[in-house]
C-alpha cells in the first residue's frame, strides 16, 4: 500500500526488510526489496537478497530475459561488494541463458578489465561492438584501445582511438588517449595532428592549454617559430592575463627581432603588473627598445621617465635620460629632468645620490645655460648636504667671484664666507687667503686686510705687495666705536660660541668678591676669613678644581680650625 497506493517508499522499506528478516526465503518480497536496494546503491543490504533470488531463480516463474536481468543485477551487486569470482560466474550464467545479452557482455567485459583478463575483456567488447551505435560504439573502441595499450600493442591502440574519434568526435577520452600514445612514442607530427583534431571540442582554459602545447611543439620539436608564435597568440587570446604566455611570446618575438610586435606585448605586461619595481623593469626594457631598435628617442625618454616614476632608485633609467637629452643638447629639458629626479627623492634625504644630482644641476646651469645665480643656489644645496666637500666649495667660490663682478653688493660677503670655509676645510689652501686680502683691499677695509697680511707673513706665504702693506704698519686712522661693549655684543661677537650664558652670568657676579679675597690673601697669606671666602666663591661659581687647590693651601696654612670652618670645608 505504501508503494503502490501512497507512493511513500521510505515507509515501505523497513516493513519489507522485516518480512525478509522473518522469512529470508520470501522471494516475492525479496524481489521488490532487492530492486529498491539496488536502485539506492545499498549493495551490502542487497547482496543476501540477490543470493536467495539466484538460488531460487528457476522457481520465480520469470521469463528468460527477466532471469538474465536478475543475474546481471546480482553480478553487479557481487562486484560492488568485492566478490569478483561470484560476479564472473553470474555473468557467464546470464550469457548461457542469452549469449547476445548486451548487459551481460558489458558487465563481463568491465569485470575482466578490472581483473586484468585482457583477452576475455577484448572478446566481450568485440561481441558488443556490432550492437552499439555512435557514442556507445566510440566508448567501446576506447576500451579496446586501452586493452591494446595494456598488452603493449600501440599500433592497434592508435587504430582503436581513431575509430573511437570517427564514431564520436566529441569523445575526449579518445582524443586524450591518442595524444598520450603519440606523446609516448615522440611522434611529434602525429601528436600535432591529434592536438589539432581535439581543438574543436575544447573551450576556455582547456583550449588555451592545447594551443600552448601546439606552440611548444612548433617551437621545441618542429623548429617552426612563426607557427609557434601563431599558436601562442591564440592561447593568449583565450587567456589575456597569463603572464607566462606573454613572456613566451616576448621571447619568440624578440628572437625574431619583430620590434613592432614586441612593444604591444611589453605594454600588456606593464598594464597587468601590479608590483611597481617589476613594472619598472618592463618599462625600462620597452624604453631601451624604443631607443636602440625602433629609433624613437622622444618615446624612449618618456618611457625612461615612467621607469623612475615606479622606481626612483632605477638609476640606469636616469642615466639614459641624461645621455639622450645631452645628445640632443636640449639643456632646458635636461634641467627639468634633474629637478624632477630630485623631487622624486625624500625631502630629508642626504644621500650621495641627492648630492650628485644637485651638483650636476649646478653644472648644467653653469656650463650649459650660463645661469651663474641658479648654479650657485644649486651648489649651496649640494654643500648643505655634504659640508665637508672641498671641491664643491671651491666651485662655489669661483661662481661667487664671477657674480661679484656683476653684483658686488650681494655677493662680496658670500665670496668671503666661501673662502673662509675653504680655509677651514684646508688651512693650507693659501689661494683663499690671498683672495680675501684682495677683496678687503678693494673694499678699503684696511684693518681686515692688515690682519690677513699678518697671517700670510706668519705662514710665509705673503706676496711682495702683501709684505710691503704689512710693513707699512697698521692703519693710523682711529675708528670710533659705534656703540658701547654691551653684554649682548660680548656674547655675540667676543665670547666663544659654546660658552653657557648662565654660567657666564654667575661667574660675573662672583668674580669681584673672589678678586677681593685673593687680594687679601696676597697681602696676608694666613688670613683665614679670606681663604674661606675664596673657597665659598669658587663653590658658587662651580670651579671645583680651583676649590680643591684653595682648600689644600688653606689646610697647609691653618693648623687649628674651628667648627664653622670645618663645616665650610666639608
Q: Identify the residue with better confidence: 254 or 473.
A: 254
Q: How confident is the model at residue 491 (pLDDT cuts 50, 70, 90)?
A: confident
Longest dimension (CA), the chain: 155
SS3 percent helix, strand, coil of the chain, rounded to 5, is: 80, 0, 20
Q: Is residue 460 helix, strand or coil?
A: coil
Give residue 341's pLDDT: 96
Report whether pLDDT(291) > 50.
Answer: yes
Report whether pLDDT(518) > 60.
Answer: yes
Class of residue 221 by CB neighbours under 10 A (exposed 0-12, middle 13-18, buried 19+): middle
* 96-121 mean pLDDT: 87
Query: Angle between the 315-328 and 297-310 helix axes, to the nearest 10 degrees?
Result: 150
Q: How confident is the model at residue 59 (pLDDT cuts 50, 70, 90)?
A: confident
For 111, phi then psi, to 5°, come to: -65, -40
Question: Rounded CA gap, 289 and 285, in Å?
Answer: 6
Q: How confident is the model at residue 12 (pLDDT cuts 50, 70, 90)?
A: confident
Give residue 563's pLDDT: 64
Q: How confident is the model at residue 249 (pLDDT cuts 50, 70, 90)?
A: very high
- Whether this prediction's pTM lies above 0.85 is answered by no
Report whether pLDDT(530) > 70.
Answer: no
Give residue 555's pLDDT: 57
* 173-187 mean pLDDT: 95
| Short-list 110, 97, 101, CA closest to 139 | 110
Report whether pLDDT(540) > 50.
Answer: no
Give residue 477's pLDDT: 59
Report whether pLDDT(191) > 60.
Answer: yes
Q: Identify the residue with better confidence: 16 or 481.
A: 16
Report whether pLDDT(549) > 70.
Answer: no
**Is the distance from CB of 435 to CB of 419 less than 8 angstroms?**
yes
Give residue 562's pLDDT: 61
* 29-34 mean pLDDT: 76
Give residue 30's pLDDT: 73
| Short-list 427, 368, 428, 420, CA closest to 396 | 420
Q: Identify the residue with better confidence: 230 or 34.
A: 230
Q: Identify the residue with better confidence: 96 or 295.
A: 295
* Beta carbons within 10 angstroms of residue 509's beta carbon: 11
Q: Which three cell numbers stand for residue 323?
A: 645621455
pLDDT tens, position by position, 136-162:
889 999 999 999 999 999 999 999 999
Query: Angle between the 259-272 and 243-255 helix axes, to the nearest 10 degrees?
Result: 160
Share of the chain above pLDDT 70, in %: 88
First to last CA, the chain: 121
CA-to-CA dists, residue 125 to 134, 135, 143, 156, 163, angstroms: 15, 14, 8, 15, 14
pLDDT tens, position by position, 376-435:
999 999 999 999 999 999 999 999 999 999 999 999 999 999 999 999 999 999 999 999
Question: Rounded CA gap, 221 and 427, in Å?
Answer: 75
* 311-330 mean pLDDT: 95
- H-state helical runs in 258-351: 259-272, 276-289, 297-310, 315-328, 331-344
Q: Identify the residue with better confidence: 289 or 103.
A: 289
Q: Which three cell numbers stand for residue 238?
A: 583565450
Give residue 254's pLDDT: 93
Give residue 545's pLDDT: 60
Report whether pLDDT(542) > 80.
Answer: no
**Is the distance from CB of 449 to CB of 440 less than 8 angstroms?**
yes
pLDDT tens, position by position, 336-362:
999 999 999 999 999 999 999 999 999
Report whether pLDDT(278) > 80.
Answer: yes
Give residue 470's pLDDT: 92
Q: Identify the residue with better confidence: 543 or 69.
A: 69
Mean pLDDT of the chain: 87
Report whether pLDDT(566) > 80.
Answer: no
Amino acid at each position: 500500500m505504501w508503494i503502490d497506493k501512497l507512493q511513500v517508499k521510505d515507509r515501505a522499506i523497513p516493513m519489507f526488510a522485516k518480512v525478509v528478516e522473518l522469512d529470508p526465503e520470501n522471494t516475492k518480497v525479496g524481489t521488490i526489496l532487492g530492486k529498491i536496494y539496488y536502485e539506492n546503491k545499498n549493495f551490502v543490504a542487497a547482496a543476501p537478497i540477490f543470493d536467495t533470488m539466484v538460488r531460487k531463480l528457476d522457481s520465480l516463474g520469470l521469463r528468460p530475459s527477466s532471469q538474465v536481468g536478475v543475474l546481471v543485477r546480482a553480478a553487479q551487486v557481487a562486484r560492488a561488494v568485492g566478490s569478483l569470482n561470484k560476479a564472473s560466474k553470474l555473468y557467464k550464467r546470464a550469457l548461457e541463458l542469452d549469449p547476445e545479452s548486451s548487459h551481460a557482455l558489458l558487465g563481463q567485459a568491465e569485470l575482466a578489465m578490472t581483473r586484468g583478463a585482457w583477452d576475455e575483456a577484448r572478446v566481450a567488447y568485440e561481441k558488443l561492438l556490432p550492437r552499439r551505435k555512435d557514442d556507445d560504439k566510440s566508448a567501446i573502441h576506447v576500451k579496446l584501445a586501452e586493452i591494446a595499450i595494456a598488452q603493449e600493442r600501440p599500433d592497434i591502440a592508435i587504430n582503436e582511438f581513431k575509430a573511437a574519434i570517427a564514431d564520436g568526435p566529441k569523445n575526449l577520452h579518445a582524443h586524450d588517449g591518442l595524444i598520450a600514445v603519440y606523446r609516448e612514442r615522440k611522434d611529434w607530427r602525429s601528436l600535432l595532428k591529434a592536438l589539432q583534431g581535439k581543438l574543436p571540442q575544447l573551450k576556455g582554459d582547456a583550449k588555451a592549454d592545447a594551443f600552448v602545447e601546439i606552440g611548444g611543439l612548433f617551437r621545441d620539436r618542429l623548429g617552426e617559430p612563426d607557427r609557434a608564435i601563431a599558436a601562442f597568440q591564440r592561447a593568449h587570446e583565450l587567456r589575456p592575463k597569463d603572464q607566462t604566455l606573454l613572456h613566451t611570446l616576448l621571447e619568440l618575438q624578440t628572437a625574431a627581432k619583430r620590434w613592432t610586435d614586441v612593444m604591444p606585448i611589453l605594454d600588456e605586461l606593464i598594464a597587468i603588473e601590479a608590483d611597481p619595481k617589476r613594472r619598472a623593469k618592463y618599462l625600462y626594457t620597452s624604453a631601451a627598445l624604443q631607443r636602440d631598435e625602433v629609433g624613437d628617442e622622444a618615446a624612449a625618454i618618456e618611457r625612461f621617465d615612467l621607469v623612475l616614476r615606479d622606481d626612483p632608485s632605477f638609476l640606469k633609467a636616469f642615466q639614459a635620460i641624461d645621455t639622450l637629452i645631452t645628445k640632443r643638447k636640449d639643456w632646458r629639458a635636461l634641467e627639468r629632468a634633474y629637478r624632477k629626479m630630485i623631487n622624486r627623492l625624500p625631502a630629508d634625504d642626504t644621500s650621495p645620490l641627492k648630492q650628485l644630482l644637485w651638483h650636476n644641476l649646478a653644472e648644467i646651469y653653469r656650463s650649459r645655460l650660463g645661469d651663474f645665480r641658479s648654479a650657485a643656489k644649486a651648489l649651496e644645496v649640494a654643500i648643505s648636504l655634504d659640508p665637508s666637500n672641498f671641491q664643491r666649495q671651491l666651485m662655489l667660490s669661483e661662481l661667487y667671484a664671477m657674480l661679484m663682478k656683476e653684483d658686488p653688493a650681494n655677493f662680496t660677503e658670500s665670496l668671503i664666507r666661501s673662502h673662509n670655509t675653504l680655509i677651514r676645510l684646508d688651512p693650507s689652501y693659501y689661494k683663499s687667503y690671498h683672495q680675501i686680502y684682495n677683496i678687503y683691499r678693494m673694499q678699503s677695509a684696511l684693518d681686515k686686510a692688515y690682519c690677513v697680511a699678518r697671517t700670510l707673513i706668519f705662514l710665509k706665504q705673503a706676496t711682495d705687495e702683501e709684505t710691503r702693506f704689512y710693513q707699512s704698519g697698521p692703519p693710523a686712522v682711529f675708528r670710533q666705536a659705534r656703540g658701547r661693549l654691551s653684554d649682548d655684543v660680548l656674547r655675540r661677537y667676543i665670547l666663544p660660541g659654546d660658552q653657557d650664558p648662565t654660567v657666564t652670568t654667575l661667574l660675573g657676579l662672583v668674580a669681584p668678591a673672589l678678586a677681593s679675597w685673593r687680594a687679601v690673601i696676597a697681602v696676608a697669606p694666613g688670613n683665614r676669613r679670606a681663604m674661606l671666602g675664596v673657597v665659598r666663591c669658587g663653590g658658587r661659581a662651580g670651579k671645583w678644581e680651583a676649590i680643591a687647590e684653595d682648600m689644600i693651601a688653606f689646610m697647609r696654612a691653618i693648623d687649628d680650625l674651628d667648627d664653622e670652618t670645618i663645616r665650610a670645608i666639608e
